Amino acid sequence: MSRKRVAVLISGRGSNMAALIEAAKDKNYPAEIALVLSNRPDAGGLDTAKSNGIATAVVDHTKYGKDRAAFDAAVQAVLVQNKIELVALAGFMRLLTAGFVDQWPERMINIHPALLPAFKGLDTHQRALDAGAKVHGATVHFVVPEMDAGPIIVQGAVNVHAGDIEAALAKRVLAVEHRIYPLALKLVAEDRVRVANGRCLIDGAPVPDAGALTPSD
């Protein structure tokens, strides 16, 4: 089995990146984490990647001023140099240009801490609480130029408890993220995900965890 070469793009602590690294330690996992790239030299996740023997790169966005296209071109050059086949955004806090996104059609995925299409953007957990949502969760989707709008691959949900606070809800959602991101990357790396009319269809055996409410949550 040839494993797909994946780059994980991060900006911070990289706990989702770590979940992908752990999953890829299984030799039967269809992807290898070939590169971790950060736009911030001080991202904590870089140390985790290095301690797992994974190549790292930094493309510091502050060196590019307002020129997003030049920043994206520098990222693209590193991805090409490393023969990357799939890109996984994991807490990568930069908006990407359409020109960049269009070079990774159905080959770039993102994890968002909400049940899309609800709560796009930032502060998702507090906004879910403020809205009185009874269920909340996380989504892995293909990246398209519009933010948080691409076809949904996998979702995982948690119940919102009476009296929940943001930190507690975020913690439960993060545990779901760590479960669904490796699952989604696996499905994409196995070429099992097809997009038709803006929706993902998953080929092969049913995927029981692809939209799961964790019973204990």
Q: Which is nearer to ligand GRF, 143 or 193 (CB)?
A: 143
Q: Residue 169's closest CA among 119, 106, 209, 204?
A: 119
The correct pick among 9, 23, 90, 144 for binding ligand GRF (CB under 6 A) is 90
DSSP string of the chain?
A: -PPEEEEEEESS--HHHHHHHHHHTSTTSSEEEEEEEESSTT-HHHHHHHHTT--EEE--GGGGTT-HHHHHHHHHHHHHHTT--EEEESS--SPPPHHHHTTSTTTEEEEESS-TTSS-SS-HHHHHHHTT-SEEEEEEEE--SSTT-SPEEEEEEEEPPTT--HHHHHHHHHHHHHHHHHHHHHHHHTT-EEEETTEEEE-SS--TTTEEE-TT-
> In the annotation, is 112 catalytic?
yes
Shortest Cβ 76–ligand GRF spacing (Å): 21
Shortest Cβ 14–ligand GRF spacing (Å): 5
Q: Which is nearer to ligand GRF, 130 or 203 (CB)?
A: 130
Q: Which is nearer to ligand GRF, 15 or 155 (CB)?
A: 15
Candidates 14-22, 53-61, 66-74, 207-215; binding stretch for ligand GRF (CB under 6 A): 14-22
Question: 5, 84 in Cβ contact below 8 A?
Answer: yes
Q: Which is nearer to ligand GRF, 34 or 138 (CB)?
A: 138
Helix axis angle, 44-51 relative to 15-24, nearest 10°?
20
- What's the CA gap between 40 and 59, in Å, rounded? 7
The correct pick among 6, 16, 75, 136 for binding ligand GRF (CB under 6 A) is 16
The correct pick among 33, 54, 86, 111 for binding ligand GRF (CB under 6 A) is 111
The correct pick among 91, 137, 150, 182 for binding ligand GRF (CB under 6 A) is 91
Q: Does 179 bind ligand GRF (CB under 6 A)?
A: no
Q: Does 12 bind ligand GRF (CB under 6 A)?
A: yes
Site string for ligand GRF, 44-83 (x = CB under 6 A): ----------------------------------------
Q: Does 113 bind ligand GRF (CB under 6 A)?
A: yes
Contacts to ligand GRF by CB under 6 A:
10, 12-17, 90-91, 111-113, 138, 174, 177
Q: Which residues are catalytic?
A: 112
